Amino acid sequence: MKILITGANGQLGRDCLAAFAERHPVVGVDLPHIDITEPAHVERILAEESPDAIVNCAAFTRVDDCETRRDAAWRTNALGPGILAGACGNALLAHVSTDYVFDGERTPPEPYAETDATNPQSWYGATKLEGEQRVRASATRWLILRTAWLYGFHGRNFPKTMLRLARREPSKPRRVVADQFGCPTWSATLARQIVALVESGRTGLFHTVAEGHTTWHDFARCFLDAMGVAHCIEPCGMADYPLPARRPRNSILANARLHTEGVARMADWRADVERFAALHRNALLSEADTQP
């Protein structure tokens, strides 16, 4: 099975490249080699590579920037997936989506399942939901994979930011939101789950997040403790940090269909954080200590 990964230079894309390469021929493409919002680019790459499956990791994920750069976000998150879906023929299209398609108003810890109604409250969420709908409408064979609170070794993310701040001033109090709930998901584990789903031949909608849930505050503490780094993390509320894009207060997703169909590969969020820290500790510390 030949795999094509779009958005291959990103956090998840790079982990997908590594995970698929262990078992399949895989090609990774990203800007400027391919722009998924340009039909000619997409058609040329698909004709050249003739993949059996396409994993779309390309996305405009800067949530607050989506509110001001609406056209760019729409093109990447909505238009692009639709173009891929319309051009992929009989190849499977696995498209990565988000918890932001839900409004987050459900009382924690009640999770959202694949069958629950969507109601995005931000432009990012709205564009990602439209991307889902275009994939459903145009692809012959499709997977939609909703994930949340993604972190990994590559690129910028929440735990890396907290590590950099803690290393710079370990005794300085850092206030982190403690009333927003979700499932911190390691991109390397998600990549292995995507491999398993693509290999299984299944299609349709799946939630793919780490098992269990926590808050940003406890996520930060767990990661810094696992790294053995001194810190001073204090809880605060979402109201203390108003941002341009509205965040779901409850981003807890249930991997209901993964379990029902016996294809679950996701791990407990805390166990994954500890494994992530153990595997990458030296490199993460070096990066944190050299970044401005």
How far is 278 from 84, CA to CA, in rounded Å? 37
* 73 neighbors 60 (Cβ within 8 angstroms): yes
Catalytic residues: 124
Region of 146 on the Ramachandran plot (φ > 0 left; ψ -120 to 50 alpha; else beta): beta
Q: Dihedral of CA 270/176/65/137: which sign?
A: positive
Q: Please tell me whether residue 134 adopts helix, strand or coil conformation.
A: helix
Q: Please tell me whether residue 236 adopts helix, strand or coil conformation.
A: strand
DSSP E strands in the chain: the ranges are 3-6, 26-29, 53-56, 92-98, 141-147, 150-151, 174-177, 181-182, 185-186, 204-207, 214-215, 233-236
The Cβ-side half-sphere exposure at 270, using a 13 Å CA radius, reads 8
How far is 263 from 143, CA to CA, in rounded Å? 14
* 200 neighbors 257 (Cβ within 8 angstroms): no
Task: Tell me how many degrees the CA angle 124-201-258 measures, rounded to the nearest 5.
Answer: 60
> 0.85 exceeded by the pTM?
yes
**Dihedral angle over CA of 97, 98, 102, 107, nearest 10:** 140
Fold of 3-156+184-211+253-268: Rossmann fold (3.40.50)
Task: Give the relative orientation of helices 158-168 and 269-290 as an angle to the nearest 10 degrees.
Answer: 50
Q: Tens digit of pLDDT per residue, the chain (292 long)?
A: 999 999 999 999 999 999 999 999 999 999 998 999 999 999 999 999 999 999 999 999 999 999 999 999 999 999 999 999 999 999 999 999 999 999 999 999 999 999 999 999 999 999 999 999 999 999 999 999 999 999 999 999 999 999 999 999 999 999 999 999 999 999 999 999 999 999 999 999 999 999 999 999 999 999 999 999 999 999 999 999 899 999 999 999 999 999 999 999 999 999 999 999 999 999 999 999 998 7
How far is 249 from 270, CA to CA, in rounded Å? 20
38-44: list long-range contacts, CB under 8 Å, 24+ apart. Answer: 38/83, 39/83, 39/87, 42/83, 42/84, 42/87, 43/87
φ, ψ of residue 53 in degrees (nearest 5): -145, 145
Every domain of the chain and the residues it spans: 3-156+184-211+253-268
